[in-house]
């Protein structure tokens, strides 16, 4: 069997920018970090902890999700189901072929809010107090399962948890399931929710930018970077075989190109490693032929001290001349899959402001975030994860 | 379509029966149930006080402050790759494909109990809490540089990971894959399954008429997978072939399986089709067999749907009768059992002497190990929350 070409025919996204791709484009055009105060009333945070989060805020999901259905779901599942429904509408698919529709989702932390409630029941009141409803919707794959139930999608259903590398690994899994003929349609993407407890824990690991007298901003590739802005949201793409998309006259947003996956064993459990040479060699081996034609990079950089340094070193070793490098996490924060949606904007052509936190590029890194009009026929998406995992995908105009 | 065969060249096991493949296998052949009173945390208020805990931490590969799941995973992985040259292990064409559903939740609960009450907790064990904790620990421990990912689909996690490893090997992305899963017992899953009344107050009794739920377990099962060409080139001993994998979703209910087993049947059919095998080729089944009334009933219906009248004549076992339910690691340890059944041509029995539930219409292996013919195809099934189904097929290696 020859693998089938896989294309993106729809996108649904929601996050701190609001609902949909145009809202994300507008936020990236402005470049302001979409930060708001995190609720510290539960007392999880240390006095000097991060105060900001890139939160979704109140979103009207009723066009995609009935209030009755929403009541039975965690925020995470609600985001995922709404993004999936939005993506199908964007793709012009009124219904999906039940046995031939797959789901491939990534989540770094799963349903943090439900998990916290369940932990409180068990650890405060004893195991007998555990709610079966919370328990069953606390599994990492609950959101992917809820998409399947909502759509009647009975194809392969996968959830990947690999921290910041998850969104690209899920895209790759979904594309493989379509390319191999296991599914004709796949809803692929990423979802996360950022509740005070998860936020406080990330802060304990010094992953987040803390109050620094300079705006507490995420500053990818910047001299002053001190940590990431924790975020949340969902991005779901509709993947189809190119042949069937063309046959139904679907608008094609992108073709899913070749991919690479690797690992940096010099990483610690909660930190980034330093083997840029190894990662760059792997990237060149897998994607080298295509790299000269890459017109833009959607970078994993989010403002992490070592994470950004590793990303910069990998990019500099990979490209003789760097294409424009976009850093959307400076705007929408880490987690929630907004980078996948940003890649589609770069392919379609969109304006990007220099993010507010990125005004003093770190000369040691040698990467300056792009600004202005970016329109590329081929985009490289990168994802480096704390703990060591790495993934790259090419998205291109067919 | 001809696809490059993928073979199993190493196994690693940690579970309630002990540490190491040989110890575990001897326990399994003896039909010894590792389900016993649990001492890891208080259980007195629950429906059950039992579980199959890993008995001896001292023999596990240990690192300072490692979580139990990390130690299970790294111990099993180290055993599986024992004969793999370090240069291959640390090259970019070796990957780790792992499943886990709880990460290091047992250790994280200590931290959560502190932070929920406004105290500081010990941060170090929490770093391993995420679901990718065990798989990423294996990759760092063994110095892997190829693809590393963790699938977390509740009780099918490790089977999904095995299928993903098979994909990567067949697609030529890697030559070698370290694949399986690890999970540890913790209060959250213990309380959760108790709250669902899905646990048996007695040791679990899969496929019995009196079955009343599952027993929880913990541990890790890891397979070393290679393309047959790579195994041949390095002169590796081949144990069996990983012939196929299949996944599906019930799209029916978040926690209850489709009562007719349609999703499970679809996953089995997919695996058979991808392996190029007819249902008639399957010679034994290592079933999900949790021992809950609904699971065993639904799974039996799936087997009847795929195998027809022959379903009553295929030996069926459930490793969970001996080692409990390892949740995200179940597919890993059960694939190890399935591979060992092919190597030794024996299917381990279920624990206990109660006869099988006649209403299920299955040939459940009881009393003593069941001898197998010369050439075998073993089916290992897992079903999960989220309506998730994932199965793998292993068969005797015929170069």
pLDDT at site B63 = 66
The residue-averaged pLDDT of B295-319 equals 97
- Verify that A288 and A228 share a domain, yes or no: no
* Measured distance CA(B102)–CA(B129) in Å, rounded: 8
pLDDT at site B66 = 86
Query: HSE (CB half, 13 Å, CA atoms) of A39?
Result: 10
What are the residues whose beta carbons fall under 8 Å from the beta carbon of A238, sequence distance 6 or more? A8, A9, A10, A11, A87, A88, A90, A91, A93, A185, A186, A187
Q: Quick check: A230 and A141 in contact, CB under 8 A? A: no
Share of chain B above pLDDT 70, in %: 97
Q: Is position B351 within any domain?
A: yes
Is some CB atom of chain B closer than 8 A to the CB atom of A180?
Answer: yes
Question: Which range marks the domain in which residue A370 is found?
Answer: 258-396
Check B141, B230, B304, B325 and give the catalytic one: B325
Q: Is position A388 within any domain?
A: yes
Residue-wise pLDDT for A35-46, tens only, equals 999 999 999 999
Q: So what's the ipTM on this one?
A: 0.98
Domain boundary among A206, A233, A254: A254
- Using pLDDT thresholds of 50, 70 and 90, give the confidence band for residue B61: low
Judged against a pLDDT cut of 60, whether residue A1 lies above it is answered with no
The residue-averaged pLDDT of A21-46 equals 96
Q: Which residue of B has its CA nearest to A155?
A: B248
Q: Quick check: A378 and A295 in contact, CB under 8 A? A: yes
Q: Which has the closest alpha carbon to A82: A101, A59, A103?
A: A59
Judged against a pLDDT cut of 90, whether residue B230 lies above it is answered with yes
E strands, B85-129, where?
94-99
Domain boundary among A254, A281, A316: A254
- Verify that A283 and A138 share a domain, yes or no: no
- Verify that A53 and A68 share a domain, yes or no: yes
Residue A334: strand pairing partners: A230
- Structural domain count of chain A: 2
Chain B residues with beta carbon closer than 8 angstroms to that of A148:
249-251, 386-387
Q: What Rg do the C-alpha atoms of chain A give, in angstroms?
A: 20
Q: Quick check: A46 and A211 in contact, CB under 8 A? A: no
Judged against a pLDDT cut of 70, whether residue B60 lies above it is answered with no
Residues 56 through 115 of chain B touching chain A, CB cutoff 8 Å: 90, 92, 95-96, 100-101, 109, 112-113, 115
**Tokens read off for A364:** 């040691």
pLDDT at site B1 = 46
CA torsion, points A229, B140, B70, B26, in degrees to nearest 10? 150
- Using pLDDT thresholds of 50, 70 and 90, give the confidence band for residue A391: very high
CB-based contact A141 B384, cutoff 8 Å? yes
Q: What Rg do the C-alpha atoms of chain B give, in angstroms?
A: 19
Residue-wise pLDDT for B260-286, tens only, equals 999 999 999 999 999 999 999 999 999
pLDDT at site B62 = 62
- Using pLDDT thresholds of 50, 70 and 90, give the confidence band for residue B2: low
Q: Which residue in this structure is represented by tokens 């069996």?
A: B240
Check B155, B186, B240, B304 and give the catalytic one: B155
Q: Is B325 a catalytic residue?
A: yes
Judged against a pLDDT cut of 80, whether residue A396 lies above it is answered with yes
The residue-averaged pLDDT of B159-176 equals 98
Residue A18: strand pairing partners: A15
What are the distances in angstroms from CA B342 to CA A254, A284, B166, B347, B395? 45, 41, 19, 8, 7
- Verify that A240 and A330 share a domain, yes or no: no
Q: Which residue in this structure is represented by tokens 């805020």?
A: A57
**Tokens read off for A395:** 């998205």
Chain A residues with beta carbon closer than 8 angstroms to that of B386:
139, 141-142, 144-145, 148, 157, 159
pLDDT at site B57 = 63
Judged against a pLDDT cut of 70, whether residue A108 lies above it is answered with yes
| DSSP secondary structure string for all residues of B353-377 | SPPB-GGG--EE-BSSPEE--SS-E
Residue A234: strand pairing partners: A14, A191
By Cβ distance, the residue of B139, B153, B171 closest to A388 is: B139
The residue-averaged pLDDT of A65-93 equals 96
Lowest mean pLDDT among A65-74, A126-135, B114-123, B179-188: B114-123
Residue-wise pLDDT for B326-361, tens only, equals 999 999 999 999 999 999 999 999 999 999 999 999
- Verify that A198 and A340 share a domain, yes or no: no
Residue A189: strand pairing partners: A105, A236
What are the distances in angstroms from CA B302 to CA B149, B198, B221, B306? 30, 21, 25, 6
Q: Is position A1 within any domain?
A: no
Q: Is position A362 within any domain?
A: yes
Q: Taking the mean position of all CA atoms in its chain, how far away is CA A49? A: 24
Chain A interface mutation, best of B96, B108, B149, B157, highest count of A Cβ atoms under 10 Å: B149
Judged against a pLDDT cut of 60, whether residue A303 lies above it is answered with yes
Judged against a pLDDT cut of 90, whether residue A302 lies above it is answered with yes
Q: Quick check: B57 and B72 in contact, CB under 8 A? A: no
- Verify that A361 and A321 share a domain, yes or no: yes
Q: Which has the closest alpha carbon to A359: A240, A230, A220?
A: A220
Question: Which range marks the domain in which residue B244 is found?
Answer: 6-395
Judged against a pLDDT cut of 50, whether residue A124 lies above it is answered with yes
Q: Is position B1 within any domain?
A: no
Check B15, B186, B230, B288 and give the catalytic one: B288
- Verify that A208 and A91 share a domain, yes or no: yes
Q: Quick check: A264 and A390 in contact, CB under 8 A? A: yes
- Verify that A118 and A223 share a domain, yes or no: yes
Q: Which has the closest alpha carbon to A189: A256, A263, A116?
A: A256
DSSP helix/strand/coil, A230:
strand
Residue-wise pLDDT for A318-338, tens only, equals 999 999 999 999 999 999 999
The set of long-range contacts for B46-49, using a CB threshold of 8 Å and a minimum separation of 24, is: B46/A127, B46/A128, B46/B190, B46/B191, B46/B194, B46/B199, B47/B194, B47/B197, B47/B199, B47/B201, B47/B213, B48/B194, B48/B199, B48/B200, B48/B201, B48/B202, B48/B213, B48/B215
- Verify that A89 and A229 share a domain, yes or no: yes
- Verify that A248 and A266 share a domain, yes or no: no
Domain boundary among A237, A254, A271: A254
Lowest mean pLDDT among A76-85, B31-40, B128-137, B319-328: B128-137
Q: Is position B185 within any domain?
A: yes
Average pLDDT of the residues of chain A: 96
- Verify that A95 and A182 share a domain, yes or no: yes
- Read off the CATH number of the domain in which A90 is found: 3.40.47.10
The residue-averaged pLDDT of B358-373 equals 98
Residue-wise pLDDT for B86-117, tens only, equals 999 999 999 999 999 999 899 889 888 888 88
E strands, chain B, where?
6-15, 18-19, 36-37, 50-51, 94-99, 148-151, 176-183, 219-227, 240-249, 284-286, 315-317, 346-347, 363-364, 370-371, 377-384, 388-395
CB-based contact B194 A130, cutoff 8 Å? yes
pLDDT at site A388 = 98
CB-based contact B126 A98, cutoff 8 Å? no
Residues 215 through 274 of chain A touching chain B, CB cutoff 8 Å: 261-265, 267-270
Q: Which has the closest alpha carbon to B127: A387, A264, A123?
A: A387
* Measured distance CA(B275)–CA(B394) in Å, rounded: 9
Q: Is B119 a catalytic residue?
A: no
Residue-wise pLDDT for A219-251, tens only, equals 999 999 999 999 999 999 999 999 999 999 999
Q: Is B46 a catalytic residue?
A: no
Q: Which has the closest alpha carbon to B183: B102, B76, B66?
A: B102
Is some CB atom of chain B closer than 8 A to the CB atom of A98?
Answer: yes
- Structural domain count of chain B: 1
What are the residues whose beta carbons fall under 8 Å from the beta carbon of B261, sequence distance 6 or more? B298, B299, B300, B301, B302, B303, B305
Q: Using alpha carbons only, what angle is made at residue A274 by residues A273 and A279, rounded to the nearest 5 degrees? A: 95
- Verify that A170 and A302 share a domain, yes or no: no
Q: Quick check: A307 and A356 in contact, CB under 8 A? A: no
* Measured distance CA(B42)–CA(B35) in Å, rounded: 16
């Amino acid at each position: 069997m020859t693998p089938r070409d896989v294309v993106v025919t729809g996108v649904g996204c929601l996050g701190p920018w609001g609902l949909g791709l145009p809202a994300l484009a507008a936020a990236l055009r402005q470049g302001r970090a979409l930060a708001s105060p995190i609720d510290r009333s539960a007392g999880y945070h240390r006095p000097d902890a991060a105060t900001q989060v890139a939160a979704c805020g109140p979103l009207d999901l009723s066009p995609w999700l009935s209030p009755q259905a929403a009541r039975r779901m965690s925020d995470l599942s609600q985001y995922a189901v709404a993004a999936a429904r939005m993506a199908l509408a964007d793709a012009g698919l009124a219904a999906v072929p039940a046995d031939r529709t797959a789901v491939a989702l990534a989540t770094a932390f799963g349903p943090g809010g439900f998990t916290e409630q369940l932990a409180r029941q068990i650890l405060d009141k004893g195991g007998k107090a555990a709610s079966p409803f919370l328990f069953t919707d606390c599994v990492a794959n609950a959101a992917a399962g809820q998409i399947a139930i909502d759509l009647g999608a009975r194809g392969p259903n996968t959830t990947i948890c690999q921290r910041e590398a998850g969104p690209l690994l899920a895209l790759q899994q979904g594309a493989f399931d379509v390319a191999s003929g296991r599914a004709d349609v796949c809803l692929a993407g990423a979802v996360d929710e950022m509740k005070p407890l998860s936020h406080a824990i990330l802060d304990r690991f010094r992953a987040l930018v803390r109050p620094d007298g300079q705006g507490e901003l995420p500053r990818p590739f910047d001299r002053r970077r001190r940590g990431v802005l924790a975020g949340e949201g969902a991005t779901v793409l509709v993947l189809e075989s190119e042949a069937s998309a063309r046959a139904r006259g679907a608008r094609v947003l992108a073709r899913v190109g070749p991919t690479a996956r690797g690992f940096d064993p010099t990483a610690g459990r909660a930190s980034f490693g330093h083997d840029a040479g190894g990662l760059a060699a792997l990237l060149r081996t897998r994607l080298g032929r295509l790299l000269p034609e890459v017109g833009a990079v959607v970078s994993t950089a989010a403002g992490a001290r070592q994470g950004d340094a590793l990303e910069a070193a990998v990019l500099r070793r990979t490209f003789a001349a760097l294409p424009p490098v976009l850093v959307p996490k400076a705007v929408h924060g880490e987690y929630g899959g907004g980078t996948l949606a940003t890649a589609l904007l770069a392919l379609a052509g969109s304006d990007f402001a220099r993010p507010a936190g990125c005004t003093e590029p770190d000369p040691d890194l040698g990467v300056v975030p792009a600004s202005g009009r970016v329109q590329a026929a081929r985009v490289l998406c990168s994802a480096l994860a704390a703990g060591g995992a790495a993934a790259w995908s090419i998205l291109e105009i067919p | 379509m001809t696809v490059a065969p993928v073979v199993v060249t190493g196994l690693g096991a940690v579970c309630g029966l002990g540490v190491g493949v040989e110890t575990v296998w001897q326990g399994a052949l003896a039909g010894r149930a590792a389900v016993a009173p649990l001492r890891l945390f208080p259980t007195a208020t629950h429906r059950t006080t039992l579980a199959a805990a890993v008995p001896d931490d001292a023999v596990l590969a240990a690192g300072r402050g490692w979580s139990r799941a990390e130690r299970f995973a790294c111990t099993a992985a180290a055993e599986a790759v024992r004969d793999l040259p370090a240069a291959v292990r640390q090259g970019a064409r070796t990957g780790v494909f792992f499943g886990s559903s709880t990460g290091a939740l047992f250790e994280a609960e200590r931290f959560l109990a502190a932070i929920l009450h406004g105290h500081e907790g010990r941060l170090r064990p929490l770093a391993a809490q995420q679901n990718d904790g065990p798989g990423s620990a294996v990759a760092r421990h063994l110095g892997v540089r190829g693809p590393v990912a963790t699938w977390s689909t509740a009780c099918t996690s490790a089977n999904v990971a095995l299928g993903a490893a098979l994909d990567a090997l067949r697609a030529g992305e890697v030559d070698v894959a370290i694949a399986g899963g690890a999970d540890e017992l913790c209060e959250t899953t213990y309380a959760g399954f108790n709250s669902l009344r899905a646990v048996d107050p007695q040791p679990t009794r899969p496929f019995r008429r009196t079955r009343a739920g599952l027993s929880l377990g913990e541990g890790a099962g890891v397979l070393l997978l290679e393309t047959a060409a790579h195994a041949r080139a390095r002169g590796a001993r081949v144990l069996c072939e990983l012939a196929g994998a299949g996944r599906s979703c019930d799209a029916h209910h978040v926690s209850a399986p489709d009562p007719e087993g349609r999703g499970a049947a679809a996953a089995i059919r997919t695996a058979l089709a991808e392996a190029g095998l007819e249902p008639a080729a399957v010679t034994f089944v290592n079933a999900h067999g949790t021992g809950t009334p609904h699971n065993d009933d639904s799974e039996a219906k799936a087997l009847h749907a795929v195998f027809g009248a022959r379903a009553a004549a295929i030996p069926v076992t459930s490793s969970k009768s001996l080692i409990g339910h390892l949740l995200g690691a179940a597919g890993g340890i059960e694939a190890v059992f399935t591979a060992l059944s092919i190597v030794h041509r024996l299917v381990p029995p279920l624990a206990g002497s109660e006869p099988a539930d006649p209403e299920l219409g299955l040939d459940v292996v009881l009393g003593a190990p069941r001898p197998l013919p010369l050439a075998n195809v073993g089916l290992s099934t897992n079903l999960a929350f989220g309506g998730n189904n994932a199965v793998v097929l292993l068969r005797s290696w015929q170069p």
